Amino acid sequence: MRLEVQRSEKLNVLSELAASVAHEIRNPMTVARGFMQILSQSTVTEEKKLIYTSMVIEEIDRAQNIITDYLSFAKPQAEKLEELDVSSLSHKLINLINPYAAMRGVEVSIDMEPALVVKANSEKLIQCLVNLTKNGIEAMPSGGLLQVSGFRDKAKIILQIKDNGIGMTEEQVDRLGTPFYSTKNKGTGLGLMVSYRIIKTFGGLIDVTSEPDHGTCFTISLPAA
Ligand code: ADP
Ligand code: MG
């Protein structure tokens, strides 16, 4: 009975989320389409063409960012949880984020103990780790060090993502995970909400400590399998 309730609640949350994400992707598409229609008219000046083209690109980038934060690694039917050694994901994670980090002058270190077995779904966990590490990199506009570590603490598997970037005030930390809350120019405000929900479906939680101008540490804690 309880399981039934939980299951239908989860479905509701998911379809609600999918609906709002679809809406957020449709907006930039509509705007881009409008500009393309104007561009197809022969009366448009060269100067206006340049402006409209860059606006179209910006809107497409926005849609792309939403997809990256929300469902890059989603696979259909990937709901099933399986026993998974988190440390085996290190290589994949470093390959995914290194180009982005290098572009921004950020050094990444990943340090995981072996055999960190949890019940999870690897695509979703990767999505979460990419979202958190991406935020860490973006929090260091003039470069820095991003440290990812994983260890076992009694019956918990702990994963930490730590940056020495801009940090957050208490008020900002309180707002984390609210859908579409973003302080960034091209932010989606989806990355954390998605990550919080993913970790919740694995029976874990995410904690944040942060200090303005010093940096932020996200701590994921999952039950050891
Ligand atoms: P986005 O990255 O698109 O803005 P997120 O949901 O990933 O959306 O993050 C929401 C907000 O949380 C960010 O805009 C930023 O203000 C804050 N934030 C998240 N991670 C960090 C971090 N490591 N350092 C500082 N601020 C952060
Ligand atoms: Mg983000």
Q: What confidence score (pLDDT) does residue 149 get? A: 98
- Ligand 1 centroid to Cα of residue 4, in Å, is 34
- Ligand 2 centroid to Cα of residue 96, in Å, is 15
Distance CA 33, CA 10 (A): 34
Taking CA atoms only, the protein residue closest to ligand 1 atom 7 is 191
Q: What confidence score (pLDDT) does residue 69 get? A: 84
Residue among 192, 198, 209 whose CB has most ligand 1 atoms within 8 A, to mutate: 192
Residue spans of the chain under pLDDT 70? 1-17, 75-78
Strands 106-112 and 144-153: parallel
Angle between helices 2-39 and 46-71 (to 10 degrees): 170
By CB atoms closer than 10 A (0-12, 13-18, 19+), residue 106 is buried
Per residue, what are the HEC states of the chain?
CHHHHHHHHHHHHHHHHHHHHHHHHHHHHHHHHHHHHHHCCCCCCHHHHHHHHHHHHHHHHHHHHHHHHHHCCCCCCCCCCEEEEHHHHHHHHHHHHHHHHHHCCEEEEEEECCCCEEEECHHHHHHHHHHHHHHHHHCCCCCEEEEEEEEEECCEEEEEEEECCCCCCHHHHHHCCCCCCCCCCCCCCCHHHHHHHHHHHCCCEEEEEEECCCEEEEEEEEEEC
Q: What confidence score (pLDDT) does residue 2 get? A: 47
Taking CA atoms only, the protein residue closest to ligand 1 atom 18 is 135
Quick: pLDDT tens for 73-112: 776 666 789 999 999 999 999 999 999 999 999 999 999 9
Q: What confidence score (pLDDT) does residue 221 get? A: 98
Distance CA 111, CA 176 (A): 26
- Ligand 1 centroid to Cα of residue 171, in Å, is 13
Distance CA 191, CA 176 (A): 10
- Ligand 1 centroid to Cα of residue 82, in Å, is 29
Distance CA 21, CA 210 (A): 28
Residues lining ligand 1, judged by CB closer than 6 Å? 131, 135-136, 139, 163, 165-168, 176, 181-184, 187-193, 216
- What number does the ligand 1 atom closest to the CA of 177 have? 6
pTM of the full structure: 0.85
- Residue 196 Cα distances to 43, 96, 142, 192, 208, angstroms: 49, 20, 27, 6, 11
Residue among 182, 186, 195 whose CB has most ligand 1 atoms within 8 A, to mutate: 182
Q: What confidence score (pLDDT) does residue 71 get? A: 74
